[in-house]
Homo-oligomer: A and B are copies of this chain.
Amino acid sequence: MRDLLPREVELRDHATAEILDVYRRYGFRRIETPALENIRLLLASDGGENEKLIFKVLKRGAKLESASSGRDPELADLGLRFDLTVPLARYYADNHAQLPDPFKAIQIGPVWRAERPQKGRFRQFTQCDIDILGVGSEVAEIELILATCEAISALGLEHPRVRLNDRRILAGIAKSCGVETDRHGAFLVTLDKLDKIGRDGVERELRAGGFAEGTVVRLRALLWPADPSTPHASQATDSLERLRRELPSVEPFAESLRTIMRTVADEAGQRFDIAFDPTLVRGMGYYTGAIFEVAYAGYPSAIAGGGRYDRMIGKLLDRDVPACGFSIGFERVISILQEKNGVRVGDRHHVALLFEAKDSPADVFAMARRLRNEGQVVSVTLKKKNVAKQLDDLAAEGFDGYAIYQGGASAGVKPLVRRATRLDEKRHTEERQEDQS
């Protein structure tokens, strides 16, 4: 867990505002659920590995007394949420009578996982999800993908690429490769590693895992028989066509993906692209249909991911409710934005109004008010002995102007030149290199 300094919070607030603005224009509305949920809900949620990482909250008072003979699960009654999807399903089950149908939710908030501390992983981090509950058709997928890609573009991350697949197509592939139903999970876990270990690695791991040689051969025939020099987009088209030919049972799911791709591509124009990827798996156990991820050039991991989970809410309610969601990896996006630019967020002029201890506070604050009424951010600041150093510090903090209070006369605002930060320097160097190339 970590503290956020003002400059980072400003970037995060800016990103949040941009994302919310796009999502709201699509008719999504923000909701909030509490950080703490019933520990039994969290432990029965198909959350996979994440369930092991729950921060559990100790029972209190008499309840703890009566439990203290027992062990770990007896000691806790609440847990910190590890994602925003499980709480959303619980929220919908509890509040659906007061919610629109369909319900289009935005959630931006912290989640907690007791991971071992390591670079780029935090034990408290922000997730940013949109979900559509109550829509069974691919209109939901289309809207989620369009809104998410537009939000990512609005942040200045140009040309995101969407990868798309369907869990039912993956099941069709596994079946066609002769994998027994109870081993589909293990088969897909290996396929999911393609990005990391390559085709040879996947085939090796399947053999090592006891899958038959026929499975490996059939998988190869279904997924990568093509000349690797074929361009990416037509490869994707080809692979969907090939799967339709080879696996007639996946026809309806393939048709649905085609509708999603055609509609999204129409709307996307040159701004982002979308392609079928039969090797996209995604980890969560609860997906039931389309699954999707967003990749951003130059970064290995996805910056957004989601899919359809039509059977989660039914576990909490007396009926199934179709559901589909898309989650932006907020922390990853922020770290890309930090790498891309050290630019100042916000366009207001920041002025430090320097005064001395002998000055009348009433006059100093009246002057601050006049400057503020002109639309400037004004910070009333006691003048230090070493004014030159103080002005330097203020410039480094992001102030672009200062005024010195002088006995009631309205002193003019003078500019402050911001010292380049290390990030700025890096950016300037890169720009210079680009200019030279």
A143 CA to B368 CA, complexed, in Å: 10
Residues of chain B with a CB closer than 8 A to A412's CB:
none
- For residues 1 through 38 of chain A, which have their beta carbon under 8 Å from a beta carbon of chain B? 1-6, 9-10, 13, 24-27, 29-36
- For residues 310 through 361 of chain A, which have their beta carbon under 8 Å from a beta carbon of chain B? 348, 350, 352, 357, 361
Q: Mark A94-134, 1 if CB is under 8 A from B, else 0.
A: 11001111101100001010100000000110000000000
Say whether A220 faces chain B, with CB atoms less than 8 Å apart.
no
Best-surrounded residue of A29, A91, A259, A366 (most CB of chain B within 10 A): A29
- For residues 364 through 419 of chain A, which have their beta carbon under 8 Å from a beta carbon of chain B? 364-366, 369, 372, 376-382, 393, 397
Contact of A397 (CB < 8 Å), options: B100, B372, B379: B100
* 18 residue pairs from A and B, CB less than 8 Å apart: A1-B34, A4-B31, A4-B32, A6-B31, A9-B31, A10-B29, A24-B348, A25-B372, A25-B378, A27-B377, A35-B80, A55-B57, A55-B78, A56-B58, A60-B114, A102-B381, A142-B361, A267-B366
Say whether A75 faces chain B, with CB atoms less than 8 Å apart.
yes
- For residues 233 through 285 of chain A, which have their beta carbon under 8 Å from a beta carbon of chain B? 259, 262-263, 266-267
A104 CA to B353 CA, complexed, in Å: 14
Contact of A365 (CB < 8 Å), options: B30, B105, B263: B263
B75 touches A75 (CB 8 A): yes
Contact of A25 (CB < 8 Å), options: B6, B56, B377, B397: B377
Residues of chain B with a CB closer than 8 A to A123's CB:
34, 36
A266 CA to B75 CA, complexed, in Å: 57
CB distance from A394 to the nearest CB of B (A): 8
CB distance from A140 to the nearest CB of B (A): 9
A36 touches B112 (CB 8 A): yes
- For residues 38 through 58 of chain A, which have their beta carbon under 8 Å from a beta carbon of chain B? 55-58
Return the chain B residue nearest A375 by Cβ: B25
B3 touches A95 (CB 8 A): yes
**This protein's copies in its complex:** 2
A6 touches B34 (CB 8 A): no
Residues of chain B with a CB closer than 8 A to A95's CB:
3, 5
B124 touches A266 (CB 8 A): no
CB distance from A12 to the nearest CB of B (A): 8
A361 touches B72 (CB 8 A): no
A259 touches B361 (CB 8 A): yes
Residues of chain B with a CB closer than 8 A to A393's CB:
100-101
Contact of A143 (CB < 8 Å), options: B33, B138, B380: B380
A311 CA to B110 CA, complexed, in Å: 32
Say whether A436 faces chain B, with CB atoms less than 8 Å apart.
no
Whether A58 contacts B31 in the complex (CB less than 8 A), given A104-B379, A372-B25, comes out as: no
A10 touches B30 (CB 8 A): yes
Return the chain B residue nearest A369 by Cβ: B267
Say whether A362 faces chain B, with CB atoms less than 8 Å apart.
yes
Residues of chain B with a CB closer than 8 A to A380's CB:
27, 139, 143
Say whether A421 faces chain B, with CB atoms less than 8 Å apart.
no
Return the chain B residue nearest A55 by Cβ: B57
